[in-house]
Amino acid sequence: MNVLNMIRSNGPISKAEIAEQVQVSPTTVATILMKLMDEDYVREEGIGSSTGGRKPILYRFNPDKSNIIAVSMRNSSIQLAVLNLEGDRTKERIYNVENVKGETYIHYLMNALSIFINSINNQKDFVGIAIVCPGVVDAKNGTILYNAKLDLYDVELKAKVEQAFNLQTYVENDMNALVIAEKQFGDAPFSEMLYLSIDEGVGSGIIVNDHLFRGYSGSAGEIGHMSVVPGGIGCSCGNQGCLENYVSWPAIYARILSAWFTQREENSIVEKANRMPEKIKPSHFVEAACEGDPVALKIVEEMAEYIAVAITNVLHFMNPQVVILHGEHMVNNEPLISAIKKKVERRTMKIVTKSLEIRQTALGNDMNLLGALAVLLQDEMQVGKYNVFLQQQKV
């Protein structure tokens, strides 16, 4: 960890503590601090308690030093926001893009960005634009390689956005961004992590040895297309019985409707939506399950079974320290999470589950924007200029 990140995650902190944690000499820390304070990334904040000698000055990160423009591309919406370096939002806009695809989608995105950026007064305070999107992304070149649902193939988005707005731009897969955000902001300092998101679609982000695992062409973590039912429902990917077709929100919504229409099973999920099936939301399902509604619990049981099969496969394969669950019909769904835990425990080798933690995300559901920030911070502060600076100082 470098000096700036140490202050960001542990400040207010004294010079001596930084030196100890980062393992560089106090003189080196002093030089770096001077530079960081000069650029206003770090400020003095009060005096710490003495351990014998003079009371030390404490330093803290200045999250308002600059802002970023965070963009979350989804199948049905484009969300834009101004965030400071701690993720506080000052401006936000959501555009509905239902059924917009391909070039038209990119055209909408560029227009939305243009209107949004033009409405901001102090544009010079921005360090960059960070865009997260579903699909396979070449993050190094900022190219969306493959997104079947949005009909996007080989879109050189970074180049396009940088040329139009003259701001450093980052493009990253949404699941990768979320797992980095969990590590940076979510109190999950694990080296081996599986981040599993079950929402509109199903995907995962994987951290191996403290690094994002992308696979050869960037498509690692497509857990939604893991077979959980041999010979099951045919999937758009070409496979059969893919997890996504059994547990994503569209699948669960269809399951709720079929219970209501065909089996005439009374359930409080539909009641919660005032008996208007088109108004049923994931939160209705979660509430009903937590209140013990029999139909909701039956669906929870089925869901847990499929998810447990998938998690067990991954656990045996990659042996992570933690599995973090995310998604609107999953988070705060206590019966579901506890059923998943029990089923995984029952199926998995003891050596794998011995110190394993399965927990829900600490960051809430609406965290794609935070993911975008995490991607930018990671680049700006870890592999970016301050690492170079640190290395120079060390020499």
The residues that touch Zn ion, with contacts defined as CB under 5 A, are 225, 235, 237, 239, 242
Minimum CB distance to Zn ion smaller for 242 or for 304: 242
**129-143 core/surface letters (b: 16 or more CB in 10 A; e: else):** bbbbbbbbbbbeebb
Instruction: Give dist(CA 283, CA 181) in Å, integer.
Output: 24
Nearer Cβ to Zn ion, position 129 or 226?
A: 226
**Residue placing its CB nearer to Zn ion in the complex, 24 or 202:** 202
Q: How far is the CB of 237 from Zn ion (least distance, A)?
A: 3
**CB count in 10 Å sphere of residue 120:** 14
Which CB sits closer to Zn ion, 215 or 277? 215
In whole angstroms, the minimum distance from the beta carbon of 253 to Zn ion comes to: 18
CB of 225 to Zn ion, least distance (A): 4
Ramachandran assignment for 292, one of left (phi > 0), alpha (psi -120 to 50 degrees), beta (any other)? left
d(CA 57, CA 201): 49
| Short-list 374, 133, 151, CA closest to 143 | 133
User: What single letter denotes the amino acid at residue 4?
Assistant: L
Tokens at 364, concatenated: 């809430």
Cβ closest to Zn ion, residue 251 vs residue 295: 251
- Confirm if 394 and 24 have CB atoms less than 8 A apart: yes
* Rounded least distance, CB 223 to Zn ion, Å: 10
| CB 208, min distance to Zn ion, A | 23
**Which are the contacts of 112, defined by CB distance < 8 A and separation ≥ 6?**
78, 80, 93, 95
Q: Is 70 helix (H, G, I), strand (E, B) or coil?
A: strand
CB closer to Zn ion out of 30 and 237: 237
* Minimum gap (Å) between residue 117 Cβ and Zn ion: 37
Largest CA distance in the chain: 77
Looking only at the bridges linking them, the beta strands covering 67-73 and 89-96 are: unpaired
**CA gap 200, 249 in Å, rounded:** 5
Smaller CB separation from Zn ion, 203 or 335: 203
Shortest distance, CB of residue 242 to Zn ion, whole angstroms? 3
Among candidates 29, 24, 28, which has minimal Cα distance to 13? Answer: 29
Q: What does each C-alpha distance from 34 to 58, 385, 393 come to in angstroms?
A: 13, 15, 12
Nearer to Zn ion by Cβ, of 24 and 226: the residue is 226
Nearer to Zn ion, 222 or 287 (CB): 222
Closest CB 244 distance from Zn ion, rounded Å:
6
Cα gap 363→394, rounded to integer Å:
36
Q: How far is the CB of 227 from Zn ion (least distance, A)?
A: 8
Token pair of 304, please?
């847990």
